[in-house]
Structure 1
Amino acid sequence: MSNQLLDEMISRISKFASIFGISRSELKVYAFLLLNGKSTARDISEKLEMSYTKVYSILARLEGRGWIIKIARRPTLYEAVPVKEVWVNIKGVISAKLEQLERDFIEPLSTFTFSSPYTVIIVPSKDIISAMREYLSESSQRYLIAISYPELLAEQVVELIKANSVKGDTKLIISKSIPFPDIPSIKIKKIDSMFGSGVITSSSMLLIVKSGETLLGLSSSHNYFIEIATVYFNHLWETH
């Protein structure tokens, strides 16, 4: 492939690559090795018309990224790692950077802004059943439901659980002491006891606990609360 054709190919992806700190020169050297096979630093320097010092520095960075491998011989040969393996590596780096951005910037910032996309709401006793119906009526890929208090099984709640069992991944954990109709489409496990009740969807969670004879609820769209609730639910599901 001529340098002109190589430059045209690199130009199409260099803007995207630069977002992740990948230089045009790095792309050019990697593409050269990918297309031409094993080469020495000197050969790359001559064919790409780059200084030997610059090529050597680029090869060191590419090796550090895991894009190329060095074959120990005299002179040293460099070989490109298959492009699909490199892409898996890039996706891993992107994912790690995004997680770091969320952890170090988005989450801390959200605690100081009034326009936070996350909500935590206290649900009073009189609104518990309504909140359950609202959560069970959400459009969601999953519905994880825990029932430890018989007063939560209002007729509309049962009907919504039944309806969700045929349109999404619906799992129900219920205390053994609470009667529940036999509905074949519902994945159900009965256990002796658990902490509280609730509903977890793809984007929100509702926790219900009892203080004396009073039911209290907490609802949230915060990813951390959803994840904690999901981990606890899955633990109960897998151990019973």
Structure 2
Amino acid sequence: MSRFPERLREDLLRLGLSDYEARAYLSLLTEGPLTAMELSRRAEIPRSKVYEVLGRLEGKGWINPGEGRPAKYSARHPREALYIWRSIRDREMRRYEEEALDELENVSSAVQEKEDILIIIGLEAALSSVIGILGRCDEDVFVAIPEELTEGLDELLGALVGRRGRTSVLAPNADVARSIKRKLPGALVRVKSDMFGGGAICGASEVALLLGRGRGNSSQYLTIRADHPGLAALARSYFEHLWSLASDSGVE
């Protein structure tokens, strides 16, 4: 990949491609149609991962389906690929917005009736809320750490040490991701630099959603904490969407 400008690779990562996907697309774009094994060699992608990478690129609209025997894959024209990818992301975001609206309206109508749905104000309180959920969770957890919470990273990770369930973490940058892997070697970690807010999900119901600050410099940091299966399912769906756009480059 050294023959491609680093800025170009970073742009593709910001657009939602993983490092392997960026390598594959650039190789197909510059070298023409390639078989999976040829692409594995040219783009330095492990054979065990190359078909998975090609499948994701096809699903995102960046490449054409393989043709012939053995199948050869080709890159779409960049303008066409970006148009398709933008359309896919716009459809996904509209779906998430509709799902979020339905669930948030349900939450809004239940806030005064249910003691297990709380609005939390302040960044320190947000961190404490996330740590509380992680510390008592015996199920799989999914954590998205925004930049604002990195100052309390050690305390947050301490709540995850020694857990038996699976731990999946989205980090805001590669340095934080490497710190997480050092302290939690068994965790699945990816980097997503442009997250809006963050949060933690425990199993199928408990969730803390970090909404960030409202408008104005003096606005308080807001968090929703709930034991609500619908809200947790929505948060899990959005986490998986961000995970699919995140990069594992530089994490190890």
Report the TM-score when normalising by structure 2. Answer: 0.45
Which of 1 and 2 has greater Rg?
Answer: 1
Report the TM-score when normalising by structure 1. Answer: 0.47
